């Protein structure tokens, strides 16, 4: 019993010291401790003099190398920087100084009938009429029994197309204010036509109007009578 009494304090001391955690001093980490700096180090606990950087590039990127080009695009890729067009406009398409020679014609090609337009500015609305004539003086002119129009750049630019079956007029416009984009020195199909005709003869276009945001656009109507059907 005496031996146990002598051992008890020793065992108690061993248990006490074994349960006590060793206190380790924090490691000194030098760096930028300013949270507003570009190179803020959240692990640093000691400020290193002159270690913080605050350089912001033109794109607002910390320590970036981006620049704003003449079109207002900011990045660090010099390969996509915009250039001046022939009119001196940065990022332009040569349309501001281009003298348009707009031409319109009716085309029949491989069974497709369409209106083709060449070298034109922005178009906000258009109108076309159709007529038929006989191929010879002793023949009768064919009759248009049904008139339809679809597709082309009119459709690509969300234009609505109204068709007058009696007046044989096709009118294109945008309810949302969209326009058909300009196409300097290029031709495009304005509309494809779906026309049913009774008899045979010639088909042509007339009553053409092109509008560019409220004003009439000049154009040439090319000779374009096509044989139908």
Task: Measure the CA–CA gap between 224 and 104, rounded to whole angstroms.
Answer: 9
Residues 6+ apart with CB under 8 A from 127: 169, 170, 171, 172, 207, 208, 209
Joined together, the tokens standing for residue 78 give: 């010099």
Residue in this structure with the two tokens 């248009």, named with its chain if needed: 144
Enumerate residues 6+ apart whose C-beta is below 8 A from 129: 167, 168, 169, 170, 205, 206, 207, 208
What's the rounded mean pLDDT across residues 110-125? 95
Confidence of residue 81 (pLDDT cuts 50, 70, 90): confident
Contact 158, 216 (CB under 8 A): no
Residue 106 Cα distances to 65, 123, 131, 222, angstroms? 54, 18, 12, 8
| pLDDT band, very low/low/confident/very high, at 6 (cuts 50, 70, 90) | low
Average pLDDT over residues 57-85: 82
DSSP bridge partners of 123: 180
For the ranges 33-47, 140-154, 185-199, which has the lowest average pLDDT?
33-47
d(CA 109, CA 121): 25
Split at pLDDT 50, 70, 90, the class of 104 is: very high
What confidence tens digit (pLDDT) does each residue in 208-226 have? 999 998 899 999 999 888 9
**pLDDT tens digits along 47-67:** 989 889 888 888 888 877 888
């Amino acid at each position: 019993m005496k031996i146990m009494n002598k051992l008890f304090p020793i065992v108690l001391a061993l248990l006490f010291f074994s349960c006590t955690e060793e206190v380790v001093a924090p490691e000194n980490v030098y760096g930028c401790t300013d949270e507003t700096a570009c190179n803020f180090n959240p692990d640093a606990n000691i400020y290193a003099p002159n270690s913080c950087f605050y350089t912001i590039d033109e794109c607002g990127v910390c320590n970036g190398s981006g620049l704003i080009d003449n079109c207002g695009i900011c990045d660090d890729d010099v390969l996509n920087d915009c250039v001046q067009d022939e009119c001196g406009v940065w990022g332009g398409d040569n349309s501001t100084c281009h003298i348009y020679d707009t031409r319109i014609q009716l085309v029949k090609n491989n069974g497709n009938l369409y209106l083709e337009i060449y070298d034109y500015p922005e178009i906000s609305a258009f109108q076309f009429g159709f007529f038929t004539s006989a191929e010879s003086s002793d023949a009768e002119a064919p009759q248009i029994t049904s008139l339809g129009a679809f597709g082309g750049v009119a459709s690509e630019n969300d234009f609505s197309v109204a068709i007058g079956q009696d007046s044989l007029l096709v009118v294109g416009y945008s309810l949302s204010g969209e326009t058909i984009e300009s196409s300097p020195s290029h031709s495009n199909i304005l509309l494809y036509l779906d026309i049913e005709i009774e008899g045979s003869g010639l088909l042509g276009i007339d009553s053409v109007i092109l509008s560019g945001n409220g004003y009439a656009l000049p154009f040439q109507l090319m000779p374009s009578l096509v044989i139908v059907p």
